[in-house]
Chains A and B, each alone.
Chain A
Amino acid sequence: MTPDPSRHARPATRQAYLGIVVALSLSILAGLGLAVVYAMGGQAQLEGVLLAVSLLGIGVGLVIWAQRMLPDDEAEEARKPLGSEPEDVAAFTTELERGEEAIGSRRLIVGLITGGLGALGLALVFPIRSLGPRPGRGLFTTGMAPGRRLVTAEKKPVRPEDIPVAGVLTVWPEGHEDEADSSTLLIRVEDESLFTKPAKVEWTVGPVVAYSKLCTHTGCPVGLYEAEDHLLLCPCHQSTFEVLAGARPVFGPATRALPQLPLGVDDEGFLVATGDFEGPVSAGFWDRDR
């Protein structure tokens, strides 16, 4: 179809007619082809193309028909004022007020109905309460507890020397591997003397330090570790935390450090938590400091 600058002019329809016939014939062929492709086992790209051709064929046919052959007379319609005539408004008001008088004269009944609907409405709000538990201390606590071993995704306990130097390992408290808020990063730095405040050096085991894996911004797992600069990076919104200095935020939207986990070693030499994180993990909420 060649573009026609003037839609009002309608040249001989032969060309348009041909276009319509071709488009609709293609559409029929594509439709039949689609059925064959499906019957023969299907193929996503082919299905898409054939479906597209069968639809576009009809579309092109209809558009050429409308643009080039069907009448294009310009018509005019009057716009009536949208607002009602004053007498109609007055009549309506009178009608409404007549009913209002009849209803409004029984003030007690109207009052009681209002009260009944109000009470019902209030009662109907309560089932919403069933949708979830009260947000209690759950947001402040995790599965970490004194003496609880830290285990990998394969549920294996970890010794400090299992973590490669300048490496990280994601662990969970034993028996609480499915708790999303308990995931923890163990980071082993080159030397324990590198730790500075506000990191709690007494909570580390040699060169190993543990922080909550959940970003304090929106709770994404802080998955990227730049060992050279000792920086943890959140891939979601690029908040960056300084591992040596208590995982304090140094870039991005996060406002708080990743909570540190007090670490210890049990009789068999495996890493354990000696308590819960120093504060609520993950994203902030209005009474986090309460």
Chain B
Amino acid sequence: MIARVRQSFLAGWEPYSRRPFPTLLRVFIGRVFHGGGDSGASEMDVALGVVLILLAMPGVLVSLLLFEKYGSLIRWMRGDGVFDPFTAAIPDEYFFIVLSMVVTGAAAVWRWDALFLDRRDYSNIVPLPISLRRIFLGNLCAILFLAGALTLDVNAASLVLFPVVVVGSQDSLSLLIRFGVGHAATVILASVFSFFAVFGVIGLLMAILPYSLFRRISLYVRFLIALFFLALLATNFAVTSFLAQLTRISKPAVTMLPPVWFLGIGQTLWGNGHNPFFAAMTRSALLALGISLAVAVLSYALSFRRSFIRLPETAEVGPLPRSQFHLLPSNLFDRIILRDAPQRACFHFITRTLLRSEAHLQIASAFVAMGLVVSAQSVASAFHANAADMLRSPSEDILAIPFILSFCIVVGIRLAFEVPSDLRANWVFALWIDPNTLQTRPIARKVLLTFSLAPLVPICFVLSAIFWGFGVAFLHTAIFAACTFAFVELLLLRFRKIPFTCSYPPFQSHSALLFVAYLFGFMIFTVYLPEFELWALADPWRVSLFVPLVAVILLSVQQYRKQMLDMDKHLIFEEISASGF
């Protein structure tokens, strides 16, 4: 029976799928996952299956972790009384809403350039005998399909697992269905809202701004959106504690947060619609969803008309020239910091790539955003601990801020170094660089320190001096700068390439270990070092303990480099896998 239905479906579908519109649809869906955009970011293409698995993973992991929390044995051991799943699940439901919004929104931000048709589509499709209306509808359908697929993929695991986890032990199918339907509606609508909100922002910007200006500010807007999503994730636990007191707070600030609106939908479907707070939140959620959909469709239509149809004209106008502003006179910087011509050439190439190549800037920005969010959490934590004296005397939370920021900047840029940029263009380096004389470590070190210490040291010193006096400011800044320097040396231990000019390193068996090492590094750098610093600042003599600490690290690095084989220090343009031999 099923086979017959399947056969008849395929018999009807196959001829249809070969017609122009479904073909167009397939092309538009495919372009979202395989490049798209004028940025030439093809090196960031990832297989569709891998993307879908990665997007679904957070939901799977979180659902599995919750099995323990809602297990009846654990609840009995904790001495929990009557179990009300609809109240008990609020914090986790809120987390799933945040998760679905963040993952779907982040996917939309990631493929931002590929959502709208670009010059390549124009030159390939418009000359064909296909009407503009069909192209418009084709891409709109592709976007709707993408929104649906992302929503289902991101929430697939929690749709099944979360209701089972929470009410699976209640022996009531109706309860399970009620809980499941409420949860499904909540997270799906939250995902849809998140996708179309991001989409609406792109569309509006495209519709309002000239194309060249849109391209220029696009990355900053994406950075802000990513920052917002990260903040939502980071504040998840704080918000859930507020949610516990909702009924006692007349106008809580948390009502400004979109995930709280969608929590109202779940609560209403779970039978808490009579609660005025949740009823108000449900209304806000539905209104926001409606507005986001309307804005997205309207702005898509406008931007299609303004940007896509006029693409040939924008080619005539040309982009804005790059700004020639330099913070420091570049000659002075070159003379003092960059000693020889290859260093100068590589340094400027690296900084320009970092600041202009979208893929690299995205990686670095993501880490900076993470640093800002964790720093904000650190400030909040200091505020909770001692609101009155927060800034009068140094606390480990406040001391940790420059460490957090520099760690994130340095690791983000170091990671971006590994991602190649237009590999076919690296012939200029292969041709004119002497691999026997060029030392790439000093160049990479200078880039990392320029982006981390150069902005953070003055800010750290000035703010510390204002709040704690010059003595503490000097010591704090010196400790932070020395630790960052040592950390950079550690990160560049085996570095031997010009950033961005080498093929991807193959996945190695120790990659997972490296990830764990970075996590430990983060803990040491942003928790234990500030704790140690706080202890040391109590008596300035203790600060001298940092000297042997940093010296040992630097000497160890030097010693390790000394015993490395010359061939392991030689400049490379291709990472060779040991197993590929």
A interacts with B: no
